[in-house]
Structure 1
Amino acid sequence: MVSQDKMKLVGTIGSILSVCMYVSYIPQILGNLSGHPGDWIQPLVAFINCTIWVTYGFFKQQRDWPIVIANSPGIVFGLTTALTALL
């Protein structure tokens, strides 16, 4: 059986990697704004997915802050990336 400390470490690493994944949209956003639009479908789906996860984590009986924090950047960066690709 895996200890609670190891599980907490895995959860922390997963949360950090989630934030990094969504922050990595910044180069695509900059490219979109520079007239080189990228794909909009994947960031839009990421936005929808993150919105659902944040809603789930926030409205649970006992709020799940790691889920909320890890997916919140995906709402902002996913939507921004999708919109700038379409404009």
Structure 2
Amino acid sequence: MEQKFVDRIGWFASLMAITMYVSYIDQIKLNLSGQKGSAVLPAVTVVNCISWIMYGYLKEKKDWPIIVCNLPGVVLGAVTFLTAIF
């Protein structure tokens, strides 16, 4: 398969991952309004995203789509987790 096409798939998948993490904003709003959600999924999301960021960063050739798409997961997962427990 042509590398340019594969790279585009990687960036598209990254965009979809970011969209998935942005969906945590709804849960954050609910948590802040008193309708607390589970803290398990956002906690696991943070660990998962940190692992993927480390993987992408530590590769010989940095894997920027993986790094970029998992950064919002760390931030939004952490905020969702914190608003769910406090």
What is the TM-score with the length of structure 2 in the denominator?
A: 0.92
How far has the Cα of 1:42 moved from its partner? 0.7
Equivalent in the alignment of 1:42: 41
Same amino acid, percent of matched pairs: 43
1:25 CA drift (Å): 0.2
* Paired AA for residue 28 in structure 2: I
Gaps of 5+ in 1: none
Match for residue 6 of structure 1? 5
Q: Which runs of 5+ in 2 are unaligned?
A: none
Aligned residues: 86
Pairing 1:75–2:74 present: yes
Change over 3 Å in CA distance of 1:5–1:60 after alignment to 2: closer
The CA RMSD over aligned residues, in Å, is 1.1
